[in-house]
């Protein structure tokens, strides 16, 4: 996490890698705060305190930035799940906690979540994004294999992993769309109850 101080130093020199990180970090903030994601690379550069040209050296256009934001999203989602799973002793409970972390990630980062799953993977092939998405899915696949005591390559692991992913993914979308509240449910309580059943992958 970058500090406020760094972002508040408009004239400060950024090393190449640092500026990219700063643009991604502030890009994530802009994404969540602008309705329909309407912001420009120029605006982002201004907020980070560099020239538009400096920003363009890292991202050829806004699409390229969005792809980088989505990739960072997959890395953070994966990290949040791994961290949540580590807080408990049993594999089963860890799996449930990871599922809860998935839904919480969607709740906390709705615009980023929609971006990550909004067709970028198919429409804008990128090595970075593809790797980040694969790594996130790989973590799930590994957990399911451990839970079931099967080899990761076993087809049953794939089907179980996809089922588990579908549950948390569907739940996340329904929560973001306000469907749970619409049907008169207390979202948080119901999320926990659905996930309690979800241990039995």
Footprint of a copy of itself on this chain (CB under 8 A)?
117-119, 121-122, 130, 133-134, 137, 158-160, 162-163, 165-174, 176-183, 185, 190, 193-194, 197-198
- If the CB atoms of residues 54 and 162 are measured against a copy of itself, the closer one turns out to be 162
How far apart, in Å, do the first and last CA atoms of the chain sit? 34
To a copy of itself, the closest distance from the beta carbon of 78 in angstroms equals 14
DSSP classification of residue 88? S
Nearer to a copy of itself, 21 or 194 (CB): 194
Q: Spell out the SS3 assignment of 14-81.
A: CCHHHHHHHHHHHHHHHHHHCHHHCCCHHHHHHHHCCCHHHHHCCCCCHHHHHHHHHHHHHHHHHHHH
Using CA atoms, how far apart are residues 49 and 60, in angstroms rounded to an integer? 18
Taking Cα atoms as reference points, which of 89, 94, 169, 90 lies closest to residue 137?
169
Compare residues 91 and 194 and give the one whose CB is closer to a copy of itself: 194
Which CB sits closer to a copy of itself, 85 or 115?
115
User: Residue 141 Cβ, how far from a copy of itself at the closest point, in Å?
Assistant: 9
Q: How far is the CB of 49 from a copy of itself (least distance, A)?
A: 33
Angle (deg, nearest 10), helices 91-108 and 155-176: 40
Minimal distance, residue 195 CB to a copy of itself, in Å: 9
Please identify, using beta-carbon distances, which residue of 44 and 175 lies nearer to a copy of itself. Answer: 175
Query: How near is the Cβ of 46 to a copy of itself at its closest, in Å?
Result: 27
Residue by residue, DSSP assigns 100-153 as HHHHHHHHH-HHHHHHHTTTHHHHS--HHHHHHHHHHHHHHHHHHHHHHT--TT
What is the C-alpha to C-alpha distance for residues 158 and 144, in angstroms, rounded to an integer?
Answer: 8
Cβ proximity to a copy of itself: between 49 and 73 the closer is 73
State in angstroms the smallest separation of the CB of 185 from a copy of itself: 7
């Amino acid at each position: 996490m970058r500090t406020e101080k760094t972002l508040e130093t408009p004239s400060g020199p950024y090393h190449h890698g640092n500026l990219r990180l700063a643009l991604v970090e502030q890009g994530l903030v802009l994404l969540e705060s602008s309705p329909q994601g309407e912001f420009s690379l120029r605006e982002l550069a201004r907020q980070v305190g560099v020239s538009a040209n400096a920003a363009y050296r890292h991202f050829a256009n806004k699409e390229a930035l969005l792809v980088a934001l989505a990739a960072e999203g997959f890395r953070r989602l994966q990290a949040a799940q791994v961290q949540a799973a580590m807080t408990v002793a049993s594999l089963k409970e860890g799996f449930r906690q990871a599922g809860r972390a998935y839904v919480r990630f969607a709740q906390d980062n709705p615009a980023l979540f929609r971006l990550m799953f909004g067709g970028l993977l198919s429409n804008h092939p990128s090595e970075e994004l593809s790797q980040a998405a694969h790594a996130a899915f790989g973590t799930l696949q590994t957990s399911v294999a451990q839970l079931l005591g099967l080899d990761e390559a076993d087809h049953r692991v794939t089907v179980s992993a996809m089922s588990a992913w579908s549950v948390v993914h569907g739940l996340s979308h329904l929560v973001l769309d306000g469907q749970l509240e619409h049907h008169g449910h207390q979202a948080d309580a119901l999320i926990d109850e659905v996930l309690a059943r979800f241990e039995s992958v």
